[in-house]
Structure 1
């Protein structure tokens, strides 16, 4: 009698040796191709249709998976950007990404100034100093509009801008690591322009399709921006356009649609 599996899947190598199996030795080596195939058939027929694994629950390691599906804070009345504004930002961002990809080889070959010392991948504190500057990192002073107008600009104090000659040198692993470092820093602190420039540049360097870590970081960033936006007191706040932009890119360009602002 044919099994259900045989009814569903016709034999590609039929073997007809009659109904007798007494002359087939499963323990010995096959003497010819037909005997080999017959051995396989007999071994398969001896296997149960359903096999239940006996697992000792005490030997299983407990695993914890943190999955966050929380969305953004809804924009307060008057704080939500228009749909046309969001679409324009996505278009501009796409153009920037294309230009970076096209000229990455050229910019990565440019010689860096002697004072530009790229941190090691795992040195989180050095990356914070490098991108944000000692003043912001150490919290010795809040951001001042006149900071970047000083006659002798000290990048060690105000942070290195994400020059193309710098970000073009970062591989995808480094981009992801630095992005995560800065977003984690942002979770506990206020928004500053140095941070915004770096976040935009790193997002522009992310390659698609995104890794799960990148999706997680983008969602974390959008939620933090939404949280901070909800605390703003005025539509004229200088932080509002930057926060709206980062939310827009995460939701509209990187397709985290549940985070998108929906204009009234």
Structure 2
């Protein structure tokens, strides 16, 4: 999607707000003893209350309203009977559609009392995302996003998952431009059009570089190579000449 009118922007902001409300409500309920299915039910209820539909279900027939990934799982975890325990690292990814417009957001959370190293990873994962967001400006290069994130990761001795990318969003869940690298990529030559809508979602890792299928009987859930713990933070943004407008903030 490329925003060309105030009406389009307001529609995007509406669904962005719904996704943010669902994400934050799920995060607030993230306590030991809750199941990932119960978390997903919270997200679904909020989407339903706003007349929104789960984008993964709508687009891919995903078996859940949201994606919930735990510990060494990186992305696309299926909600179910798994019970959350103290110290778990949990990623909540919410994407949805309202009135034909899609938005996408996600964040990782450490259930108290977690490993201090993982708490630092969460803090730095969020910082890496904001490094990428600050690099967004219409007329600039998409490669600037991955360059900024890569600089941060290298300075702080992290790795980045390089087969899970940011992407266009708005008219569909995975819109043009596709596969926006959140790591340094010299082959990326595309420029950022004014009004372009896309996600910024780096996967910052303690050693992982690729996401791989986790379970033989599950086509969805991904884990980092070496089972390296990894966090993901994601916002949907609109590129403007003054920088990025974030539509999935709380």
TM-score, normalised to structure 1, is 0.24
Q: Which has the higher helix share?
A: 1
Query: Which structure would you say has the larger Rg?
Result: 1
TM-score, normalised to structure 2, is 0.25
